[in-house]
């Protein structure tokens, strides 16, 4: 299982990649690519939240 820091880094990477994908979709007029980019950004947010939660629990122990 990934550590909290790893999840946070993966989340940030997914958010960044999703923003690029969304911009590419807008530039090319591809609604499908734009939607995929938005979904990837949401995945990144969830990963970051998971990492934050793991680190929070670790600090409480």
The domains of the chain are located at 4-60
DSSP letter assigned to residue 2: -
pLDDT digits (tens, 9 = 90+) for 27-58: 999 999 999 999 999 999 999 999 999 999 98
- Give the span between the Cα atoms of 57 and 31, in whole angstroms: 39
What percent of the chain lies above the pLDDT cut of 70? 100
Q: Kindly calculate the radius of gyration of the chain based on its CA atoms and give it in whole angstroms.
A: 14
Does the pLDDT at position 61 exceed 80? no
Q: Read off the pTM.
A: 0.87
């Amino acid at each position: 299982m990934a550590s909290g820091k790893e999840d946070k880094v993966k989340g940030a990477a997914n958010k960044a990649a999703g923003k690029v994908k969304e911009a590419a979709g807008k530039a090319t007029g591809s609604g499908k690519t734009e939607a995929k980019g938005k979904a990837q950004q949401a995945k990144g947010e969830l990963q970051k939240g998971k990492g934050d939660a793991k680190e929070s629990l670790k600090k409480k122990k």
